[in-house]
Structure 1
């Protein structure tokens, strides 16, 4: 029996296309020095970052995203890591035009997060990232539907990002209003004057592509927190013309959801041991933004 079998790590997984993982993690990096909590489970890996109890983001990496996912822990181990350092290390494994395979292991001999390239015959890249015990437990966002029917809309990600950038006023807030008649979403900012952007929902809408609202709802959110949910949106999301879903929950809690490709189409797609081609792999990203104040 090998040493690896005798002392199996909590998780040992392999992922193709490192750049896809870099894109997903960069999407939730809204400042230079940022700490993250990583939670492991038999279902996959979740990375959590938050800011002053008002903004939280999660990256869900389900085990189906990996070409290999060996989980040996009991419970759900959690550890803290520098998000910037993690992204910088992953970038060292990303080669333009090459969808390499990276091995991720936790813990190492000194409780490190270990990264290793596994598909090169000429050379191997290894990295060790120091981890720590998380200082705090992530706050409970407690997202619940606002009433019996959900308040949600789906808009093209590029249009959402552009709208939020256009509404910038230092220290300002953005008011999001949903109206059932006529079906519409309004984003409004106030500063030295005011600026308003309307998304109208209709059968031929190319921007607002889904809409559910049975009563008027209006909430304000700090601009810096709302902007963080789109500021580092990967270029792949824009190129693939993806859409983002926004939901308003009880008390005005805003949930913003993006989808990021982890496995991009290649001329030699990965085929598993049974001979089935793996479908496109998607990382789910969620932002939770607490409202500044409510008009309802």
Structure 2
């Protein structure tokens, strides 16, 4: 390779990728935007892009964008570059490229000449539309919550996303906590809020299989979580998730750490974009994986051991 070719290779950006259906990407990132001013850490790798937001040492959310979501994914970096960015600014810029009811393809490049994220619309050859987003060195590194099962068998349940969102909204007591109780007999999930009174929502597994679609628990557990953190896990669930009648999976790990998982379609079904999972089930689109981790506020009793 000539010296000029070597120099060009060395100057190649860490990442150049292209993605269709910008609105799906906006939906996925908006799902972890629980307040107006929010910083995010973006991590790049040969496997895709991970965006991480966190607050108060008690709440963290991750959006996983696997490389299969992109129609182009040229990764040239060594290691896993990280940079900080304003989540609100990033979402607003992406939203500017989205046209309701139409497919839009954009190119994302990092870094630009001044370490920016560069966005460019690439499916309109007669019009040039681009944006530059300033990045910064992250103030803190994302925490590693190291989610571990609470015992030999997992403690987990899957509930329709719309039901979960509505239940948490109904349990609102400002400044309070929400108690989550799982018990094997009868197999059920209880969500309980306390304020000027008590409000309790019971989801019985066998009686509500259209709402509580999966359940796994071999001993009773009970943990409390700050309402504002629990609400953040559902407050911006995309309307597409509700329309597709998707389910959200909740798992309780060692120490009461709560993991909430959502799936958001990025690319709608087409002949050229078909996603098939490990079980052979053909999804209606390619999926972004969203995970929230919430630390417990208070342990109720020794049954959690």
User: Which segments of structure 1 move beyond 4 Å, counting only runs of 4 or more?
Assistant: 1-6, 268-271
The CA distance in 1 between the partners of 2:219 and 2:99, in whole Å, is: 50
What does 1:191-202 align with in structure 2 at a 5 Å threshold?
A: 191-202=195-206
Look up the match of 2:77. 73
Equivalent in 168, 174, 178 of residue 172 of structure 2 = 168
The CA distance in 2 between the partners of 1:281 and 1:172, in whole Å, is: 37
What does 1:73-112 align with in structure 2 at a 5 Å threshold?
A: 73-112=77-116
For the 8 Å contact 1:270–1:278, the answer to whether it is kept is no
What does 1:72-221 align with in structure 2 at a 5 Å threshold?
A: 72-202=76-206, 205-221=209-225
For the 8 Å contact 2:225–2:298, the answer to whether it is kept is yes
The CA distance in 2 between the partners of 1:126 and 1:192, in whole Å, is: 52
Look up the match of 1:56. 60
The CA distance in 2 between the partners of 1:204 and 1:197, in whole Å, is: 12
Equivalent in 253, 256, 262 of residue 258 of structure 1 = 262
User: SS in structure 1 opposite 2:267?
Assistant: coil
Q: Which runs of 5+ in 1 are unaligned?
A: 272-276
Equivalent in 266, 284, 299 of residue 294 of structure 1 = 299
Of 58-67 and 201-210, deviating more is 201-210
User: SS in structure 2 opposite 1:163?
Assistant: helix
Deviation at residue 3 of structure 1 after TM alignment: 8.8
The CA distance in 1 between the partners of 2:94 and 2:59, in whole Å, is: 25
TM superposition score normalised by structure 1: 0.94
TM superposition score normalised by structure 2: 0.92
The CA distance in 1 between the partners of 2:103 and 2:232, in whole Å, is: 28
Look up the match of 1:274. none
Deviation at residue 110 of structure 1 after TM alignment: 0.4
Of 128-137 and 5-14, deviating more is 5-14
- Paired residues in the alignment total 290
Question: Aligned Cα RMSD in Å?
Answer: 1.8
With over 3 angstroms needed to count, the CA separation of the structure-2 counterparts of 1:12 and 1:243, relative to structure 1, is: same
The CA distance in 2 between the partners of 1:204 and 1:77, in whole Å, is: 45
Of 241-250 and 277-286, deviating more is 277-286
The CA distance in 1 between the partners of 2:273 and 2:217, in whole Å, is: 41
**1:245 maps to 2:245:** no
Q: Which runs of 5+ in 2 are unaligned?
A: 275-281
Equivalent in 225, 229, 253 of residue 225 of structure 1 = 229
The CA distance in 1 between the partners of 2:196 and 2:234, in whole Å, is: 24
Deviation at residue 269 of structure 1 after TM alignment: 4.7
Deviation at residue 124 of structure 1 after TM alignment: 2.0
Look up the match of 1:284. 289
The CA distance in 2 between the partners of 1:6 and 1:38, in whole Å, is: 22
For the 8 Å contact 1:157–1:242, the answer to whether it is kept is yes
For the 8 Å contact 2:182–2:188, the answer to whether it is kept is yes
